[in-house]
A and B are shown apart, each in its own frame.
Chain A
Amino acid sequence: MTVPVIPIEHVLALAAALFVMGLVGVLVRRNVIFLLMSLEIMMNACGLAFIAAGAKWGQPDGQIMFMLILALAAAEVAVALGLVLQLERRFDSLDIDTAGELSG
Chain B
Amino acid sequence: MALALFYIAAAVALASTALVITRRNAAHALIYLVVSLLSIAVIFFLLGAPFAAALEIVIYAGAIVVLFLFVVMMLNLGRRSAERERLWLQPGMWVGPSILVGVLFLMMLYVIVAGAPGTTEGTMVGPKEVGTALFGKYLLAVELAAMLLLAALIGAYHLGRRYLGDRREESSRENRP
Contacts and interface: CB of A to CB of B under 8 A. Distances in A.
User: How extensive is the interface on chain B, given as a class?
Assistant: 35 or more
Interface in A1-24: 1-6, 10-11, 14, 17-18, 21-22, 24
Interface string B63-92: 110011001101100000000000000000
Contacts of A64: 130, 133-134, 138, 141
Which of B49, B126, B132, B153: most chain A CB closer than 10 A? B49
B100 to A, nearest CB: 15
Given A25-B21, A64-B130, A85-B163, A74 B64 contact: yes
A6 B56 CA distance: 20
A21 B68 contact: no
A34 B130 contact: no
A29 interface: yes
A85 B130 CA distance: 37
Contacts of B141: 64, 68
Contact of B68 (A36, A41, A59, A72): A36
B6 A70 contact: no
Interface in A60-89: 60-64, 66-68, 70-79, 81-86, 88-89
B134 A67 contact: yes
Contact of A74 (B119, B123, B149): B149
Contacts of B158: 82
A83 B75 CA distance: 12
B160 A37 contact: no
22 contacts: A2-B120, A2-B122, A3-B122, A4-B2, A25-B21, A33-B68, A37-B68, A40-B33, A41-B21, A51-B44, A51-B52, A54-B49, A58-B125, A63-B52, A66-B52, A67-B145, A70-B60, A72-B148, A81-B71, A81-B160, A85-B159, A85-B163
Instruction: Give the 4 A-B CB pairs with smallest separation, nearest first.
Output: A82-B159, A75-B152, A25-B21, A4-B2
